Structure formats: C-alpha cells, structure tokens
Amino acid sequence: MLNVLVRRSAHAILVILVVSVLAFVLTSVVGDPVASILGIGATPEDRAILTERLGLDEPWPSRFVSFLGNAVQGEFGISYSAQRPVADLLLERIPATMELAFAALVLSLAIGLPVGIAAAVWRDRWFASALMTGSIIGVSLPTFVVGILLIFLFSVSLGWLPSFGRGEVVAVGWWTTGLLTWSGLKALIMPALSLAISQVALIARLVRAEMLEVLRTDYIRFARARGLQPRRVNLSHALRNTLIPIITVSGIQLGFLVAFAIVAESVFQWPGLGLLFLQALGSTDLPVISAFLMLAAFFFATINIIVDLLYAAADPRLRVRATAGGRA
C-alpha cells in the first residue's frame, strides 16, 4: 500500500512540474500584461518601468525558477487586475467551485444510478431504451445552452430560482458555504443541474453495462435460485459489485466537473475558480493564470492518487498484486 502511495506521488509531482512549465510558457505568449494593465495610452517610459517592476524583462528560465521557488512556499504573487495576493483570491474561490462540482457529481449520480439500474434490471421493457436515448440528449446539449434555458424557465418565467450568484453564504473558518442557507441552496440547483446533465449519460451507461455483466454471474444466479427477493439480489448484491468502477469514474468525473465548471460559472456568475481564470485570461493576469493551472494540475493528480488508493483498498485482489509488483 505504501509503495503504491509513494509511486503515485512521484508521478503526480512529475505531472505538476510539467504542467507548471507549460503554464509558464503559455503566459509568455498569451499577451502583454503591461499593455493590459496600462492600456494603449501609456508612454514607453511607463511601460519600461512597469515591465522592470514586474520582472518581465528577465529571461523566462530565471523567472520560472523564482516562480517555482515562491510557489512551493505558497507565495503566488499579486494579481495584476485585483491587486491582491493570488493565494487569497484562490482560497476565496475554491469553496464555490468545490461545492458546485460536488453538487453536480451528487446530482449526476442521483439521476444516473437509478436510470442505469432501471435500464439494466428491466432491460426487456420498452422504456429501457427510451431512458438511454433520453440521457444522450443530456450529453448533446452544451452546458451553456442548458444553463440559459434553465434560467429563462426558472428565473424569468417562474421566478423560483435566482439567475446569478451564490446567494447568502456562511463562513466556516476560511471556507464559505452556501449549503446552510435557503438562498444558497436555491442558487446552487441550476448551475449544478446544468453541469450534471452532461454527465448523466455516462454514469447511466456505465451502471447499465456493469449491472448487466454482474447480473449474468454465477453468484447472482445462485442467489436467485436460493429464493432471495429480487430487490435484495439487484441492490444488495449486484449493485455493490458494480460500484467499484463507478467510484473510479466518479473520481475522474470530479476532475472534469471542476474543469467544466468554468462554463456553468460564467453563465451563472458563480464566483468560483473558473470565472476567476476566464477573467485572468481576458486581462492577461499572469500570476493568476499560472497559479490556477498549477492548482488544477495538483487537484487532478491528488484525485487520481486517492482514487487509486480507494480502488486498491476496495478490491483485495489489487492489493496483493500491487505489493507483489512492488517487491519484484
């Protein structure tokens, strides 16, 4: 187990390093921050002074080394457009994106699991294929379009849900949560739903495929032969065994959800990391761009490690193989 952890961590660090190099190269081609900050009316002297002040006239390898050195200590510099420390900005925005991504994940599972189970258990009925087709529609509609449609239905026509923002948030330590207030929950529904809809098809298909396979196995047949209730057979036995790949996929999906949250965040003006990144790109806010990309890489890498560990923990067969591989 420890071997797995150590090997995965080494891989993760390598990935983060590569991403940081790419992020840095990106920032040098994405535009001129000095022109963005000062506007096109700045005199050459002002621009030279600012360029020197921001350290942009040095060759990028030396800038990269100092950036990396600072990043390791948690120092990400000051945002050009917000004029505040980048670390503060990131900390402020992480809770919003995390809550959105988790809510979307929970929703996609809450919709996808029953759909997939129903399609598998009642695969001979007519609505099984209808369910599958329906979920494809969810994938085909872009998050942006779903979001706008939901807004016009629930905010403009019905007036039930807010069309933008996070509602009232409660601070718990440095984390701000919208889950403890009624307005916060109302504001979370539509963004989470528009994100989740594109994932439902994937979850449903996966669950259906896995369930179909498991339902064919011997131990299920014996359980039925034993006379156990169908519900117990399907849920307690079959479903439990399909959960392992679901967990793996969900972990990876969480990473995608955090990335696709950008779209939902820009439609619903959700104050999360995605919106921050979009605005940083628009105003060539280099410190925020590089910090965000590194954070994203770190997040993805961490999730994958956790999923691998969970996988190894859940499936005893993998544990033996892992340690055996380690020894050899």
Rounded to a whole number of angstroms, the minimum distance from the CB of residue 47 to another protein is: 7
Which of residues 105, 193, 233, 275 is near another protein by CB under 8 A? 275
Q: How many residues bind another protein (CB under 8 A)?
A: 50
Among the listed residues 155, 239, 146, the one whose alpha carbon sits nearest the alpha carbon of residue 200: 146
* Local structure of 172: helix, strand or coil: strand
Phi, psi of 9 (to 5 degrees): -65, -40
Contact of 95 with 177, CB cutoff 8 Å? yes
Which 85-144 positions form the footprint of another protein (CB under 8 A)?
85, 88
Contact between 245 and 310 under an 8 Å Cβ cutoff? The reply is: no
Q: Between 82 and 139, whose beta carbon lies closer to another protein?
A: 82
By CB under 8 A, residue 30 contacts another protein: yes
Residue 83 interacts with another protein (CB under 8 A): yes or no: yes
| Segment near another protein (CB under 8 A); pick from 40-48, 99-107, 203-211, 219-227 | 40-48
The only residue of 2, 40, 72, 225 in contact with another protein, by rule CB under 8 A: 40
The CA-CA-CA angle for residues 253, 197, 291, to 5°, reads 45
Question: DSSP string of 104-156?
Answer: HHHHHHHHHHHHHHHHHHTTTSHHHHHHHHHHHHHHHS-HHHHHHHHIIIIII
Looking at the Cβ atoms of 38 and 322, the one nearer to another protein is 38
Where do the DSSP E strands lie in 150-290? 170-172, 175-177
For 101, half-sphere exposure in the C-beta direction (CA atoms, 13 angstrom radius) is 23
* Residue that is written with structure tokens 């989740």 in the block: 196
Binding residues for another protein restricted to 52-81, rule: CB under 8 A: 53-55, 77-78, 80-81
154-160-163 Cα angle (round to 5): 60
Q: Is 152 in the site for another protein (CB under 8 A)?
A: yes
Rounded least distance, CB 105 to another protein, Å? 23
Type of residue at 305: I
CB of 199 to another protein, least distance (A): 22
In angstroms, give the least distance from the CB of 34 to another protein.
8
Binding interface with another protein (CB under 8 A): 30-32, 35-44, 46-47, 49-50, 53-55, 77-78, 80-85, 88, 148, 151-152, 155-156, 159, 162-166, 266-269, 271, 275-276, 278-279, 284
